[in-house]
Structure formats: structure tokens, C-alpha cells
DNA sequence: AACTATGTGGAGGCTGCCTCCGGATAAGAA
DNA sequence: TTCTTATCCGGAGGCAGCCTCCACATAGTT
């Protein structure tokens, strides 16, 4: 799950040309904002235009719509996972709770992307299992620290926590504040009893 | 939720011409089998061909893809709801359990259709709320009869039962037999204690 | 039988995904 | 610096799917 180039170059080829890398990044950036703005309904032509790049260039880097979708999705997951390490300074509970709240926002915005990806690859595909693994790996230290500090009950693991949050975000037709309320209830439930 | 013509004709217009009605039915039938066979990925051109009808005719009856999808979906719901009345002869519990099993099969096959419909209309749209209402109305007598006979615990209502079943069918990546096992567990849970 | 409101169906417009290849250019060699 | 060439750029165009339009056909009425 590298952010830039999914396949590590085993054969020692020449590194990518500067313009190629520049364009790759421009396309990813354009795609990310396009997808978050307009759901996943944007056309690839539109993304290319937005990136200031020809459609051929887009297809050179991403052989099809699915590939671009995946790249953006993976990059977002990485980005969110990385944010976990920035919470080290906080009190164990606060770090945990903050990360959980971030998780809710993250899931809400990335659902459209994941939803369209489901049209191409099934839920057991490497993309999703890898992303789930990354999410678990990122959350685990935060949870363990909070548990070690006696802030979170000891009988839950990351998988359960993330499923719980996932379930809450998937509630149909709930208002954002309702979600937030349910989240606070869930957090209360996770808190260690005094 | 009439099976054939969604909007009741308030203005007393002449009834539809015979050929029009015939073609309408042919398109619906072709669409139903096409959707159940190939998921919801079939093209409208293909459906028209399959129905032995021009593409223009299809569009005369269904102004767009969403309309056709909806019509088929609604028709399927009606059909399933109607099947509830055929269970009157059975023992209250058997009637209830049989209907529930039918519900699982029904949900499994119609998920693809509903999934694509979600791309067009949101989950709170009249189509879905109406269908849910029909489903509730169809299941209610069966549940009440089973409850009155002391076969099903008294502290559940139709909505809960259907949500429970819906939740089971939505479990990701479960084997059909696993689903069936979970269903039997759920049914045990619904059974009145001796 | 003739008339007309209604229905039919396919040509064609539009858009989106993707391919292809002539021209441009970065990166290394001379 | 200049040259060479592997690599990359980008848009024209093919193809498919959604949908519109309208000349022609026909059911139902007179």
C-alpha cells in the first residue's frame, strides 16, 4: 500500500521521468477532489481536464476507471492511517476518541468511493483486505495504549471497535447529529467502568 | 403500488391500446429475467431486443432506466407480498416460518436491483418506503396469527422481524448455508418460550 | 371503409470509457 | 553543449449505452 507506486520495482528499471511523476500526482489530486465533491460520478475526461492533462496521459497511469478509483481510495486510507501517529502526544483516551471521531468522518466521505469500487471488485478483494489491515494496524496502538491506561475496557479488540463504528456510519437516513449522538453512546460503552 | 400502471388515471382517458399493454408486459417480463440473470448490468437495448420490441417502444413506456428498474422492483415486491396470502392454510408457525424463508430468498435475488436503484434514488424515496410498507402489511397478519397462537414471542413487531432478516441477508461473504444456519438461529429466537 | 388518436421502432445525437500512435521531451552520452 | 533515444504526452477516434425524434403503422371509433 505505497502511496505512489503500488508495485515495488524488483527489476531495477530507470526511475520514472519527472514529468510523468508530476502528472501522476496531478491526476490523483484532481481525482480526489472530484470524487469527494461530486460523489463518484465524475467522468475521467473531466478529471483529466481538471488535472490539466490529456485523457491519454490519465490512461497511461491508470489503465481504467477502476485503477484510478483504487489508487485514490488506497491513498486516502494511507493518509488517514498516518494521521493516527500524530495523536501520540495526547492523553490515551483523548487520542483514542479523537481517532474514532476521525474514523467516522473518514468513512462518511469515502463511502461513495468504496461503493463504486464494489461494482468492480468484490469485498474480499486484496484492495479491501489490505486497507482493512492497515486500518487495524493504525488503530491498534491507540486502543492498546488506552486499554493499558485503564481508559478503555479490556475485552474489545480493534476489529470489534471498527465494526461497531462502521455499523453506526451505515445507518440509513440518519442525521449527522444523530450519528454523532450514537457515536458518543458507543464511546461511552467502550469506556472502562470506574 | 399497482402492478401495472403506477399512476391511477384520474382524468377519464381512453384505456391503453391493446398492443401498448401487450408491449408493456413484454418489456417488464424481459427486464425481469434479464436483471435476475445478469445482475442489473443489462443494457436497455438488450432488454428491448429480448422483448422483441424497438428501443423507442421501451422508452415510450419507461422514460428512463430508473423507471424501468423501479417498475420491475415494485412488481417483484407485489408478487412476493401476494404470496403471503397463499399460506393461510398452514399451521400458524409454519406459515410464518415459510414466509420468512421466502423473504430471505427474495432479498438475496432482489438485492442487485435495489443496489442499482440506490444509484438513482435515495433510500428514503417513495419507492422504497412504499415497498417497505407493503412488505410490513403482508407480513403482519402472519406474525399476528403466529403470536395469537402462542408460537411466536409477543414482544416483536413486523418491522423488527424484517430488519433482523434483512441484517442476516446483508452479511458480507457468507455462504448460503451459513445464512440458512443464521436464519434458523433467528427463527429459534423468535419462537415463543415453552 | 375511412379516420384519427395512439403506438411503434430505428436512425442518430450525445456522452463516457478506452485505444492508438505521431509528436514532444527528459535524461543520459559524447 | 549537442545529440540520441527511451519514455511520455495528448487528442482523434472507435465503441457502447442512454435517450430523443419523427415518419410510418395500427387499434378503435364512426
Interface-testing mutation among B112, B132, B172, B174, with chain A (most A C-beta atoms within 10 A): B172
How distant is the Cα of B20 from the closest Cα of chain A, in angstroms? 35
| All cell numbers assigned to A118 | 464494489
- Are residues A134 and A145 in contact, defined by beta-carbon separation less than 8 angstroms? no
Question: For position B10, what pLDDT does the model report?
Answer: 42
Spatial separation of the C-alpha atoms in residues A107 and B102, rounded to whole Å:
33
CA distance B5 to chain A (A): 29
Chain A positions in Cβ-Cβ contact with residue B122 (cut-off 8 Å): 173
Is the Cβ–Cβ distance between B179 and B107 less than 8 Å?
no
Would you say residue A58 has pLDDT above 80? yes
Q: What is the DSSP string of B135-149?
A: HHHHHHHHHHHHHHT
Query: What's the pLDDT tens digit per position in A18-55?
Result: 999 999 999 999 999 999 888 778 999 999 999 999 99
State the angle between helix axes of B176-190 and B158-169 in degrees (0 to 180), rounded to the nearest 10: 160
Q: Is A26 helix (H, G, I), strand (E, B) or coil?
A: helix
Residue length of chain B: 194
Protein residue at shortest CA distance from C1' of C8 = B57
Q: Are A116 and A40 in contact (CB under 8 A)?
A: yes
CA B115, C1' D20: Å apart?
Answer: 28
pLDDT band at A113 (very low <50, low <70, confident <90, very high): confident
| CA closest to C20 C1', residue | A56
pLDDT digits (tens, 9 = 90+) for B137-179: 999 999 999 999 999 999 999 988 887 888 787 766 567 788 8
Closest nucleotide C1' to the C-alpha of B41: D17
Where does chain B have alpha helices with state H?
A: 18-38, 44-51, 55-61, 65-83, 92-120, 126-148, 158-169, 176-190
Q: Rounded CA gap, B27 and B18, in Å?
A: 14
Q: What is the mean pLDDT of chain B?
A: 86
Contacts of A39 in chain B (CB under 8 A): none
Query: pLDDT category, A10, cuts 50, 70, 90?
Result: very low
Which pLDDT belongs to residue B11? 45
A173 touching B (Cβ < 8 Å):
yes
At A151, is the secondary structure helix, strand, or coil? coil
- When comparing pLDDT for B105 and A83, which is higher? A83
Percent of chain A whose pLDDT exceeds 70: 90
Through-space separation of residue A6 CA and nucleotide D5 C1' in angstroms: 27
Nearest in space to B179 (alpha carbons), one of B95, B104, B102: B104
> What is the model's pLDDT at position A172?
61
pLDDT surpasses 60 at B9? no
- pTM of the predicted protein model: 0.78
- For cell 407485489, name the residue: B78
Percent above pLDDT 90 for chain B = 57
A123-126 contacts, C-beta under 8 A, 24 or more apart = A123/B172, A123/B173, A124/B173
Q: CA–C1' distance A54–C20 (Å)?
A: 14
Query: What secondary structure letter does DSSP report for A152?
Result: B
For nucleotide D10, give the residue with the nearest CA to its C1'.
A54
Distance from CA of A173 to the nearest CA of B (A): 7
Q: Which grid cell sits at A35? A: 470524487
Residue A1 pLDDT > 60, yes or no? no
**Residues in A 31-90 with any Cβ partner in B closer than 8 A:** none
Comparing CB atoms, the residue among A124, A172, A173 nearest residue B173 is A124
Inter-chain Cβ pairs, chain A and chain B, closer than 8 A: 8
Amino acid at each position: 500500500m505505497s502511496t505512489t507506486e503500488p508495485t515495488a520495482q524488483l527489476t531495477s528499471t530507470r526511475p520514472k521521468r519527472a514529468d510523468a511523476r508530476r502528472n501522476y500526482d496531478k491526476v490523483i489530486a484532481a481525482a480526489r477532489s472530484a470524487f469527494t465533491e461530486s460523489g463518484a460520478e465524475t467522468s475521467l475526461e473531466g478529471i483529466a481536464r481538471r488535472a490539466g492533462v490529456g485523457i491519454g496521459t490519465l490512461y497511461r497511469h491508470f489503465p481504467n476507471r477502476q485503477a484510478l478509483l483504487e489508487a485514490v481510495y488506497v491513498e486516502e486510507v494511507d493518509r488517514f492511517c498516518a494521521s493516527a501517529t500524530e495523536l501520540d502526544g495526547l492523553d490515551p483516551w483523548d487520542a483514542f476518541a479523537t481517532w474514532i471521531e476521525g474514523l467516522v468522518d473518514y468513512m462518511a466521505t469515502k463511502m461513495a468511493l468504496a461503493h463504486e469500487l464494489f461494482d468492480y471488485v468484490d469485498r474480499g478483494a486484496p484492495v479491501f483486505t489490505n486497507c482493512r489491515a492497515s486500518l487495524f494496524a493504525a488503530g491498534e496502538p491507540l486502543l492498546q495504549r488506552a486499554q493499558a491506561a485503564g481508559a478503555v475496557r479490556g475485552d474489545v479488540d480493534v476489529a470489534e471497535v471498527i465494526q461497531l463504528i462502521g455499523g453506526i456510519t451505515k445507518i440509513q437516513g440518519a442525521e449527522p447529529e444523530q450519528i454523532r449522538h450514537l457515536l458518543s453512546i458507543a464511546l461511552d460503552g467502550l469506556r472502562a467502568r470506574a
